[in-house]
Structures are given as structure tokens and as C-alpha cells.
């Protein structure tokens, strides 16, 4: 039995990923994500750039991982300063990090034009910074910035930078395709050459997706001898993003040529959680998930009607390059009743409703779901609404309240002192048992006003919904133009910290919102056991 070689995964979501347009990590976000990465089995978590901004400095006030090495990123010493007097290096040494990852130019043009210093000064900076961090007891690495462009422009100098770091004691020398323009064949050839000067088991690859080849470049580098792969979750990163670890990990674990030759820190159980992890990150960052993402996208294993569908059902291996369960994803065959039934049963399990396969109500529920979906409802992402729909078909949801009427008014007018103001108010009239209750509320918009009015007084059930709050609100309008249908997704939360999503669909955005709001309240009542007294 051949021994597999160890490939190390280095995640830079919290540093390079922070450069993504529209992404800003709070301290809590960073803590959460570091935890997810640790659980996944990532070897290195690059937490940020201490000294560059207060949040990152704060993040490095403690070690934020348990298993993974906690890495701090920063520049080698500036020209004209000694290592001991460089504030950037000082901040790195102060950080509670296991590993320090320095970044330095390795393209001669960059050194002379961008840094405005000499080639030799740059090399000295590399040597001295690496040595200082090693002397302080840290594991050290060097990111060779612009390595591939630098190699093409001046091979000798690029190699000199890499060797300077290695000889000064760096555990890893990472070859960075900073501009993202290098192609896979070039990466393979260049990495193979570098591996003749710095041993492959000390080499890493840091690719960007500017030509759509970041994943392929990373794989090519590993085949050429590199043993560390840098990337981000969901391919986050500035411009077109970094190499997507969520795409790379399943390939390294499942595909011939990699799974048989290399071993990574992610085990099978963690792999089966990777779809969930990818979506959790999108949720944290309020980003729409990429449904076409390799392995984990909602559509990654979805076959539309046509020549494939029946064949997939006969033998999924004929149409799936890997088993969807291995990455925690699900097969979706969007055609036959047979498949619809399987998806439905899977969905019921997922929301905690255990129904016998042969239960005749399954067919009724399937019909109900199809009808709703034809109107524009989408239960993926609205588990609480799906739960309620199912429970209603199963005949098990008490009628807590009935909305007799609601009215929402938005008015823009000049107030008494001549200012233009917009006010939104709502009135909701509900019947709770024998009581008629009518509540009014103002809000910063029509949906907010409606939400507050609805939850203001539900009589005997009011105490069950005290902790309920609207956390997020998403609108999607499709079948554009005059036939537009609005789908509203609402995320709610309560005092236990739990979150759930509900959906509403209508041509009228207020109506759609109200459906989602009502479902959310009913869900909370069901979960609180309100009907059971």
C-alpha cells in the first residue's frame, strides 16, 4: 500500500476574502468563520492582517482556532528600517498566532517601481523578517507576491526571493499568482522548476480566478510538487476571487489522481458537511448562494426534464460524477412524480416530520407543493413555511388566529414645519378565539409597520411571541413586467437564538410580505407549544 503524501490547506477567507466587493467581516463574523474552518479540518486559518486595522489587531488578541494553525499575515520589513524597528513586524510578533505569513515582492519591476527600493534590499528584508519571526518561536511562511509574473520577467530574481525565505528557515514558500493571469500549463512548468530549488514539500500555491483557472492552477501546482494550497471558502476574494476551497476539497478527496496520491486534513464526515458550510458562509455574509457552484450548488446535481432524467433514475452513476451525499448535497430530478415523492420525503425528514412512506397523505402534500410552486412559491430556503404546509396537509395545525382585515398606508407629505416626511402605518384586525383585536403600528416602511401591528396583540397567545423578531427580508420579482410575481422571504429569530425562514408570493408585495409574516408567527406558536394547552 502506497503512502499518500500530505497536502496542507490554507484558508485566507478572513484576509484575502475580506477584499471582496461588498464584504465586511465583523469580529463576530470572523470568530464564527474561524470556527467553521477549524471544524472542517483546514490546516491553517489566516485570520487577517494585525496592525493594518483595529478589528484585525483585536482578532489576534487571542488564538481563535483549536486544531488549525492560526496564521497572521503582514509585510516583510520596510526598506530603511531594521526588523526590530518595523511596526508591521512588531504587530505580527505581538499577535497570538502560531504562524506568521509574510508577504514580499518577488517581481523585480514591482520592487523598483512600486516599492522604490533595491533588489538586494528586498531580499535582505525577506531574510531578516523570516529570521526574526523564527527566532521568536513562530512557524514562518513567505507569500511571494506576483511570483509567476516575476518569474516570467526575471526568473533568477524570483527564485532568489523564494530561496532567501527557505534558507532563512521558512516552513512554506508560497507562489502567488497575484494578478490571476497565469494559465495552468505555465503554473505546472514554473512550479516544477521552482521545486528543483525549494523542496516541493515546502512549496505552496496561491491562485486567483481572473481567467477562470484558479482551481485548475491549484491542482496543476500540486501535481507539479507543491504541497500547500491557499484559497478561500466559496471563492471569495477581490476581483474574480481566490481559488475556491469548496471546489478543491471534494476533488482532492474523491477524484482519481488526487484521492489516491494525497491526504488532506478534511475527513469524510467533514466533507459531507461542506454543502452546509458553504451555505452557512453565504448566510453570515448575506450573499446570494451560487446555485451553480461545483459540488455544493443547489443545481449541482439537478437534472431538468428531457433525455437525462429517466436515465439518472435508472442508475445515477451514469450522470453524476460523484455521489451528491458525499458532499452533503442532494440529487434533484425535476421531472417525474416518483422523484418528486423522494424529494418530498427527504424534505419532511429535514424539517423533522417523520411520515411513513406509504402514508396516503403524501400524495396530497405533493400535489399541494406542486400547486404552490407553480404559483411561484419556493420552499428551498423557507423550511418553516414548508413545515407548516406539511403540517396543515397532515391536519395538525391549530387555527391560532384569523386575520379579518389589514390595511397599510404609506404617505409622503409635508409636515407642520415644511419638511418632506414619509410615514407608514398599518392596522391589523385579528380574531383570537372569541376575541376581536385590532392593533395599529407605525414603521419605517410598510412591511415593518405591518409586522409590528400583527405582533402587537394576539390575545392569549401574545406571551408566546414576545421574543419574535424579523431578522432579514428578501424580495425577488420574477416574470418581470406587468405579470410580475413577487416572492418575499423572511428570516425570523427568537429569544432562543433559533432562526427560521418563511415565504410569501403574490402580485402584491404587501400581500406576499404578509403571508411570510403570518407563517412566521404561526411557526413560532407551533414551536412554542402554544396550541397544546
| Footprint of its own copies on 80-139 (CB under 8 A) | 107, 109-110, 113-114
User: In the bound complex, what is the minimum distance in angstroms from residue 96's beta carbon to its own copies?
Assistant: 23
CA–CA gap between residue 225 and residue 394 (Å, rounded): 58
User: In the bound complex, what is the minimum distance in angstroms from residue 368's beta carbon to its own copies?
Assistant: 18
CA–CA gap between residue 263 and residue 274 (Å, rounded): 17
CA–CA gap between residue 528 and residue 494 (Å, rounded): 11
Which CB, 96 or 251, lies closer to its own copies?
A: 251
C-alpha dihedral, 135 to 18 to 31 to 384, nearest 10° = -160
The string over 345-376, giving b where at least 16 C-beta atoms fall within 10 Å of a residue's C-beta and e elsewhere, is bebbeeeebebeeeeeebeebbeebeebeeeb
Q: How many CB atoms lie within 10 A of CB 33?
A: 24
Quick check: 332 and 344 in contact, CB under 8 A?
A: no
**Interface map 255-284 toward its own copies (x if CB under 8 A):** x-x---------------------------
**β-bridge partners, 474:** 489
Secondary structure letter of residue 295 according to DSSP = T
The single residue among 154, 251, 276, 326 that binds its own copies, judged by CB under 8 A, is 251
Q: Which of residues 314-353 bind its own copies (CB under 8 A)?
A: 314-315, 318-322
The single residue among 299, 342, 439, 528 that binds its own copies, judged by CB under 8 A, is 299
HSE-up (13 A, CA, CB side) for residue 297 = 14
Show the cell assigned to 156.
533568477
Interface with its own copies: number of residues (CB under 8 A)? 107
CA–CA gap between residue 277 and residue 202 (Å, rounded): 29
Q: How many CB atoms lie within 10 A of CB 49?
A: 26
User: In the bound complex, what is the minimum distance in angstroms from residue 201's beta carbon to its own copies?
Assistant: 21
Which CB, 79 or 507, lies closer to its own copies?
A: 507
Q: Which stretch binds its own copies (CB under 8 A): 31-39, 349-357, 411-419, 458-466?
A: 411-419
User: Would you count residue 213 as binding its own copies (CB under 8 A)?
Assistant: yes
Q: Which of residues 141-180 bind its own copies (CB under 8 A)?
A: 146, 178-180
Which CB, 363 or 422, lies closer to its own copies?
A: 422
Residue 82 burial (C-beta neighbours within 10 Å; 0-12, 13-18, 19+): exposed
User: In the bound complex, what is the minimum distance in angstroms from residue 420's beta carbon to its own copies?
Assistant: 9
**Interface map 496-515 toward its own copies (x if CB under 8 A):** ----------xxxxxx--x-
Q: Which of residues 468-497 bind its own copies (CB under 8 A)?
A: 470-478, 480-482, 484, 486
Which CB, 185 or 359, lies closer to its own copies?
A: 185
Which CB, 341 or 476, lies closer to its own copies?
A: 476
User: In the bound complex, what is the minimum distance in angstroms from residue 508's beta carbon to its own copies?
Assistant: 4
Amino acid at each position: 500500500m502506497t503512502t499518500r503524501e500530505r497536502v496542507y490547506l490554507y484558508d485566507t477567507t478572513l484576509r484575502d476574502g475580506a477584499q471582496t466587493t461588498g464584504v465586511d467581516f465583523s469580529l463576530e463574523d470572523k470568530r464564527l468563520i474561524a470556527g467553521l474552518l477549524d471544524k472542517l479540518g483546514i490546516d491553517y486559518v489566516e485570520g487577517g492582517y494585525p496592525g493594518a486595522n483595529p478589528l484585525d489587531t483585536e482578532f489576534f488578541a487571542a488564538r481563535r482556532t483549536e486544531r488549525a494553525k492560526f496564521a497572521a499575515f503582514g509585510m516583510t520589513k520596510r526598506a530603511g528600517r531594521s526588523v526590530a524597528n518595523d511596526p508591521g513586524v512588531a504587530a505580527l510578533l505581538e499577535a497570538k498566532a502560531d504562524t506568521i505569513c509574510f508577504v514580499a515582492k518577488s517581481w523585480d519591476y514591482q520592487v523598483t517601481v512600486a516599492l522604490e527600493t533595491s533588489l538586494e534590499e528586498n531580499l535582505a528584508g525577506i531574510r531578516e523578517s523570516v529570521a526574526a519571526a523564527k527566532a521568536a518561536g513562530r512557524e514562518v511562511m513567505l507569500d511571494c507576491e506576483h511570483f509567476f509574473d516575476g518569474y516570467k520577467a526575471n526568473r533568477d530574481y524570483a527564485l532568489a526571493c523564494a530561496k532567501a525565505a527557505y534558507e532563512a528557515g521558512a516552513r512554506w514558500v508560497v507562489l502567488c499568482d497575484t494578478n490571476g493571469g497565469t494559465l495552468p500549463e505555465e503554473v505546472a512548468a514554473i512550479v516544477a522548476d521552482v521545486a528543483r530549488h525549494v523542496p516541493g514539500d515546502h512549496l505552496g500555491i496561491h491562485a486567483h480566478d481572473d481567467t477562470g483557472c484558479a482551481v485548475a492552477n491549484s491542482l496543476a501546482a500540486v501535481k507539479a510538487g507543491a504541497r500547500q494550497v491557499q484559497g478561500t471558502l466559496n471563492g471569495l476574494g477581490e476581483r474574480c476571487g481566490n481559488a475556491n476551497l469548496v471546489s478543491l476539497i471534494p476533488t482532492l478527496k474523491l477524484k482519481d489522481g488526487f484521492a489516491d496520491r494525497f491526504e488532506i486534513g478534511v475527513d469524510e464526515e467533514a466533507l459531507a458537511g461542506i454543502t452546509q458550510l458553504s451555505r452557512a458562509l453565504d448566510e453570515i455574509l448575506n450573499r446570494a448562494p451560487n446555485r451553480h457552484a461545483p459540488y455544493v450548488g443547489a443545481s449541482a446535481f439537478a437534472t431538468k426534464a428531457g433525455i437525462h432524467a429517466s436515465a439518472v433514475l435508472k442508475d445515477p452513476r451514469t450522470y453524476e460524477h460523484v455521489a451528491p451525499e458525499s458532499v452533503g448535497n442532494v440529487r434533484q430530478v425535476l421531472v417525474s412524480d416518483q422523484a418528486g415523492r423522494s424529494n418530498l420525503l427527504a424534505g419532511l425528514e429535514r424539517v423533522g416530520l417523520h411520515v411513513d412512506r406509504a402514508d396516503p397523505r403524501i400524495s396530497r402534500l405533493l400535489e399541494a407543493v406542486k400547486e404552490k410552486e407553480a404559483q411561484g412559491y419556493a420552499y428551498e430556503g423557507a423550511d418553516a413555511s414548508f413545515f407548516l404546509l406539511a403540517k396543515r396537509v397532515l391536519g395538525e395545525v391549530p387555527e391560532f388566529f384569523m386575520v379579518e382585515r389589514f390595511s397599510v398606508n404609506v404617505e409622503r407629505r409635508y409636515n407642520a414645519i415644511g419638511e418632506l416626511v414619509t410615514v407608514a402605518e398599518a392596522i391589523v384586525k385579528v380574531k383570537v378565539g372569541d376575541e376581536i383585536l385590532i392593533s395599529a403600528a407605525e414603521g419605517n416602511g410598510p412591511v415593518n409597520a405591518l409586522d409590528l401591528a400583527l405582533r402587537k396583540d394576539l390575545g392569549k397567545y401574545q406571551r408566546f411571541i414576545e421574543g419574535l423578531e424579523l431578522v432579514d427580508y428578501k424580495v425577488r420579482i420574477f416574470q418581470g413586467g406587468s405579470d410580475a410575481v413577487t416572492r418575499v422571504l423572511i428570516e425570523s429569530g427568537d429569544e432562543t437564538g433559533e432562526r427560521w425562514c418563511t415565504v410569501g408570493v403574490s402580485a402584491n408585495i404587501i400581500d406576499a410580505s404578509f403571508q411570510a409574516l403570518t407563517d412566521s408567527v404561526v411557526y413560532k406558536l407551533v414551536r412554542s407549544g402554544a396550541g397544546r394547552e
